[in-house]
Structure 1
């Protein structure tokens, strides 16, 4: 199963915060991109395990698109 992950650099700590838009509340972090991605994979596995116990909370079938826009 594949999920889109949004990485945002925390300007205070320099760490990368990883979020999964289709899994509300599924957030992790890491000092490096590789670490953040590994940590979010672990968080996703935990999230999915929780959904097996609570299938009514399944929300990951939303279609997410990310686009860049310019503003003058």
Structure 2
């Protein structure tokens, strides 16, 4: 059980590191939401994108992690 948790933490940290490297090369402010005229009405700091690491990690949990019970 501990080996599985260790592997999950390593996978999450690798994903977080990849997103951090990508964020390093982005401009300081990123348009995040656009209105119907095509103008950015929500601009966020580039490091806000680190919160998006949860999305690929949840896909990893759903599709690639071994389930208990043999399935």
Both proteins in one fold, TM over 0.5: no
Per residue, is there more helix in 1 or in 2? 2
**TM-score calculated relative to the size of structure 2:** 0.35
Which structure: larger Rg? 2
Specify which structure has the bigger relative contact order, considering alpha-carbon pairs within 8 angstroms and separated by 6 or more residues.
2
**TM-score calculated relative to the size of structure 1:** 0.34
